[in-house]
Amino acid sequence: MNDQEHLVTLAIRTYEQAQIMKGVLENEGIPAVIQNVNLVQPVISSGVRVRIRESDLPHALEILEKYPIFDEAVAKESQSDASVPVRSCVLIPVDFSEYSFEACRIGFEFAFSHDADVFLLHTFYVTDALSVSFPDAFKFEVQEKDLFSNEMAAAREDMEKLVKRLNECIDKEELPRVVFSYKIVEGIPEEVIESYTEREKPILVVMGTRGKDRKETDLIGSVTAEVLDSSRCPVLAIPEDSAAHLSQLREVAFFTNFEQRDLVSIDAFVRLFGQSHFSLTFVYLAKKPDRWNEIKLAGMRDYCSVHYPGYKFDYVTFDENQFLEQVEMLFEQRNIEMMVIPNRRRGLFARLFNPSIAHKMLFHADTPLLMIPS
């Protein structure tokens, strides 16, 4: 056994699950350590890591396959309150920047119009040591506990400031009065957000992102892009400089590639924002001029005009090679207040959100972007 071998993270579990897993592994002759434990209240620690030697990983995985209790514990946690009726919820991930405060403004307005509660979620990540030898693991465990405690304390202080600011805005009637709560979790932001949406199924996730003049390296942008791409519920990305008011939505751009599921996304959009009597423009990215595309777009326009009276529908086609320039021109000419993209993983959304177009589209305009799974 090589005492200088580096450790790897086998799993991230609750404190109780991590202790059980550690005991099982050590009974099988595999040394294990747990990290990220809240020293003050270890029982309520979240995101506790179970770490082992890299060479023990294959054997450890074989052992854990014999103990389904670890998967069952997660399932029971998500089903424990299944019989208790809950109100609709709007999820707002926050990082205490002005980006996320703008997301709060939009999210509170949306929640108020849908008689829903708001849940604020902050996630922080304690940097893992990439090269810690086994003899040093226990020393590092103590250091990481201190780091975790410091990060949690800082997050709580920032959350208290945000809550105070939100309450002051509510008292001044700058924000609508809605019920809101919050939680602080250690973990990888996009993974924590995805886990919450799968478990709680909020009617909308509202996230802040930077404006077009910000640097592309801003963290909030990358997290928002990841959530947009993976979420199974609608996600609304709000640029910091957006002046949007969803209750007064007038002009919308809906990107389509003529799939039947686009009609499902349109219906979902109307249910979310139908209180505004908007005009919706279908946007299609064409590789080359094609009369058949015009016929299909006209068909979508006519179908929606019949099924959704009270709203106006139109369409445009853009050259895929000049996409960004033409989109910007459309937004300026028609004063587009929101762009809507159905997420089919490998469809239009995948074409938009690739290294060459994706970030430019997400961060190029100071226009809210709504992703609707289809």
For the chain, residues classed under CATH 3.30.70.1530 are 7-80
**Encoded tokens for 147:** 């780091």
Q: Look-up: residue for tokens 């998500």?
A: 78
For 7-80, CATH number? 3.30.70.1530
Ramachandran angles phi, psi of 18, nearest 5°: -65, -40
In the chain, pLDDT over 90 holds for what percent of residues?
Answer: 27
Q: Which comes out higher in pLDDT, residue 246 or 309?
A: 309
* In the predicted structure, residue 69 carries a pLDDT above the cut 60: no
pLDDT for 118:
95
Q: Which of 145-154, 218-227, 295-304, 309-318 has the lowest mean pLDDT?
A: 218-227
What's the CATH code, domain 89-127+148-239?
3.40.50.620
* HSE toward the beta carbon, residue 323, CA cutoff 13 A: 18
| Stronger pLDDT, 13 or 350, i.e. the higher one | 13
Task: Say if residue 114's pLDDT is above 80.
Answer: yes
Higher per-residue confidence, 295 vs 37: 295
pLDDT of 238 strictly over 70 = yes
Q: Is pLDDT of 80 > 70?
A: no
Write down the pLDDT at residue 129: 44
- Extract the tokens encoding 205: 């996730």
Please tell me the predicted confidence (pLDDT) of residue 159.
Answer: 93
Token pair of 331, please? Answer: 């937004």
Q: Which of 25-39, 152-166, 300-314 has the lowest mean pLDDT?
A: 25-39
Residues 170-222 have pLDDT tens digits of 999 999 999 999 999 888 888 889 889 988 899 999 998 764 444 444 444 56
Give which of 275, 260, 276 is closest to 342, Cα–Cα.
Answer: 260
- Sheet arrangement for strand 117-124: 180-186, 117-124, 89-93, 204-209, 235-239, 369-373, 338-343, 251-255, 279-286, 312-319
Q: pLDDT for 28-55, tens place per residue?
A: 888 988 775 444 344 344 456 788 887 7
- Considering the entire predicted model, what is its pTM? 0.70
Which residues belong to CATH 3.40.50.620 in the chain?
A: 89-127+148-239, 246-373
CA-based nearest residue to 163, from 122, 113, 195 = 122
Residue 294: pLDDT band (50, 70, 90) is confident
More confident call, 154 vs 214 = 154
pLDDT at 311: 92
The answer on pLDDT for 7 being more than 50 is yes
State how beta strands 338-343 and 33-35 pair: unpaired
Q: Which residue has the higher pLDDT, 208 or 104?
A: 104
CATH topology of domain 246-373: Rossmann fold (3.40.50)
Mean pLDDT is highest, among 65-69, 152-156, 257-261, for 152-156
- Span 229-253, average pLDDT: 82
Interval 318-354: pLDDT, tens: 887 787 788 888 888 999 999 898 876 544 444 454 4
pLDDT band at 127 (very low <50, low <70, confident <90, very high): low
pLDDT (tens digit, 9 = 90+) per residue, 51-67? 888 778 778 877 776 66
- Closest by CA to 348, choosing from 313, 312, 372, is 372
pLDDT-derived band at 315 (thresholds 50, 70, 90) equals very high
Of the listed ranges 6-15, 255-264, 289-298, 337-346, the one predicted with least confidence: 6-15
For helices 15-27 and 69-79, what crossing angle results, to 10°? Answer: 170
Lowest mean pLDDT among 80-84, 272-276, 369-373: 80-84
Mean pLDDT for the chain overall? 77
